[in-house]
């Protein structure tokens, strides 16, 4: 993103009106150049309002993600264990970028954020809709020495840390849907995507991807009910929420290294959106109906089918409440 757009974003970030000529004077460009750059903001999906006699404003203002705002919010443990925190205006995917960093070596504790993803990734190969400047797209690199088996339940523990963060900002009704969804009022608020590389039976690296809708606008690309933090909280800072997420995620990872999912299982079940609900599990063309009764110690779903419990593992699987079908 060029410096002119960054300067305009900084100027309009308060949400106040500024005339085209005033913007031009402040940043040292012509009014025509200002108009051209303002159109780019519209193309990015920002809500630019133009009123004759007043000028232009970004509805709701704009808060850029920044190291200067996030770093002071981190506790000492997070500062000690985050090796680097990078923020990009545009990436194809924070997870893909972080996976590449792992390939270069020494990436444990690396944190990547982006204002916009052109190829954001969700579970099961789905696209993660990632408009500019509206949400949080975050990836963390971590290393484990117990192979893939040590990662069983990790995505659920990540969910616990995220919901704890959301509750701390006042979203008391935030819950989890197995295996990787964060819900609020039965609508999707966020999701988790884990990707691994390395030795499946030894030292391996995992990228923990987190997407949270903060100021999401209507999108025809989302094929399920969704919500946004700003729909429930009138004043929310993306930088403050990012700092809180990082504090809780790093704390979770340090415990998970020692204790695994067992330390988080009770909390997860207390946040389970489908506890004791009639559900349908869909895997390919197979549908299994039963009662969701929490999770096993390895993070698999405990599904009760005609009185018999059976584990359902993550992967290419979809879980739905019967009443939602």
Query: Catalytic amino acids?
Result: 123, 188, 320
Longest CA span, the chain: 73
List CB contacts of 285: < 8 A, sequence separation 6 or more. Answer: none
List CB contacts of 94: < 8 A, sequence separation 6 or more. Answer: 88, 112, 113, 114, 117, 120, 137, 138, 139, 209
Contact 302, 309 (CB under 8 A): yes
Q: Which two tokens stand for residue 276?
A: 């004791």
Q: Which two tokens stand for residue 32?
A: 């025509």
What is d(CA 190, CA 159) in angstroms, rounded to the nearest whole number? 10
Say which residue the tokens 């992967």 belong to. Answer: 315
Distance of CA 19 to the CA centre of its chain: 35
At 180, give phi and psi (nearest 5°): -135, 15
Contact 121, 95 (CB under 8 A): yes
> How big is the CA angle at 41 (ends 53 and 67), to the nearest 5 degrees?
115
What is d(CA 301, CA 294) in angstroms, rounded to the nearest whole number? 6
Contact 97, 72 (CB under 8 A): no
* Upper half-sphere CA count for residue 223 (Cβ side, 13 Å): 4
């Amino acid at each position: 993103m060029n410096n002119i757009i960054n300067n305009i974003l900084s100027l309009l970030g308060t949400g106040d009106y500024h005339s085209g000529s005033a913007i031009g004077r402040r940043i040292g460009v012509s009014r025509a150049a200002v108009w051209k750059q303002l159109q780019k903001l519209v193309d990015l999906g920002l809500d630019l309002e133009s009123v004759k006699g007043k000028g232009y404003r970004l509805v709701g203002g704009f808060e850029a993600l920044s190291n200067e705002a996030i770093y002071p919010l981190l506790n000492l443990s997070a500062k000690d264990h985050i090796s680097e925190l990078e923020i990009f205006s545009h990436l194809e995917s924070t997870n893909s970028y972080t996976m590449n960093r792992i390939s270069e070596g020494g990436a444990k504790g690396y944190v990547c954020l982006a204002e916009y993803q052109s190829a954001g990734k969700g579970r099961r190969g789905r696209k993660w809709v990632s408009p500019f400047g509206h949400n949080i797209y975050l990836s963390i690199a971590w290393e484990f020495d117990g192979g893939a088996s040590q990662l069983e339940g990790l995505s659920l523990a990540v969910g616990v840390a995220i919901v704890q963060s959301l509750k701390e900002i006042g979203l008391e009704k935030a819950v989890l849907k197995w295996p990787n969804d964060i819900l609020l009022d039965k609508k999707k608020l966020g999701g988790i995507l884990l990707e691994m590389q390395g030795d499946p039976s030894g030292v391996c690296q995992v990228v923990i991807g987190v997407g949270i809708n903060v100021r999401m606008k209507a999108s025809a690309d989302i094929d399920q009910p969704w919500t946004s933090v700003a729909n429930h909280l009138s004043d929310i800072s993306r930088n403050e929420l990012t700092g809180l997420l990082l504090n809780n995620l790093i704390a979770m990872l340090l415990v998970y290294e020692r204790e695994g999912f067992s330390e988080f299982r009770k909390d997860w079940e207390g946040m389970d959106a489908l506890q004791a609900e009639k559900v349908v599990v869909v895997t390919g063309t197979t549908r299994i109906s039963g009662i969701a009764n929490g999770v096993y110690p390895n993070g698999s779903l405990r599904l009760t089918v005609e009185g018999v419990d059976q584990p359902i593992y993550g992967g290419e699987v979809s879980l739905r409440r019967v009443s939602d079908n």
